Amino acid sequence: MAGIESLKVFIRGASGLRDCLMSDTAGGTILSKGLSELVAEGYPDAPPVETAFEVCDGVASFRRALERDFNGQTLAPRFAPNIVTLSLEADLRGSSGEWGPAEVDRFEDDLLAVVRLIKADLGSHVIVVNASSIDPASNVTGFQDASHEPLALRAHRYNLATMHVSYEEGISIVDADRLVAELGAAEVVQSFLEYTEPGARAICAELARVIGDYGFLDNRPVLPQMGRS
Q: Does the pLDDT value for residue 9 go beyond 70?
A: yes
How many CB atoms lie under 10 A from the CB of residue 221? Answer: 8
**Farthest-apart Cα atoms in the chain, separation:** 60
Looking at the DSSP assignment, which residues form a beta bridge with residue 224? none
Q: Work out the average pLDDT over 58-69.
A: 88
Beta strands in the chain (DSSP E): 7-13, 49-55, 83-87, 125-129, 172-174, 189-191, 194-195
Dihedral in degrees, nearest 10, Cα atoms 107, 22, 124, 3: -170
pLDDT of residue 53: 97
Give the start-to-end residue ranges of the domains of the chain.
Answer: 7-214
| 0.95 exceeded by pTM | no
pLDDT of residue 146: 56
pLDDT of residue 211: 97
**16-31 residue pLDDT tens:** 999 999 999 999 999 9
Better-scored residue on pLDDT, 229 or 46 = 46
**139-175 residue pLDDT tens:** 655 555 555 678 888 999 999 999 999 999 999 999 9
- DSSP type of residue 75: S
pLDDT of residue 2: 45
Q: Which fold has domain 7-214?
A: Rossmann fold (3.40.50)
pLDDT band at 101 (very low <50, low <70, confident <90, very high): confident
Q: Which phi and psi (to 5°) does residue 155 adopt?
A: -60, -40
**176-192 residue pLDDT tens:** 999 999 999 888 999 99
Torsion sign (Cα): 162, 166, 171, 173: positive
Better-scored residue on pLDDT, 94 or 200 = 200
Q: Work out the average pLDDT over 209-216.
A: 96
pLDDT of residue 203: 98
Give the three-class secondary structure for 54.
strand
**111-132 residue pLDDT tens:** 999 999 999 999 999 999 999 9
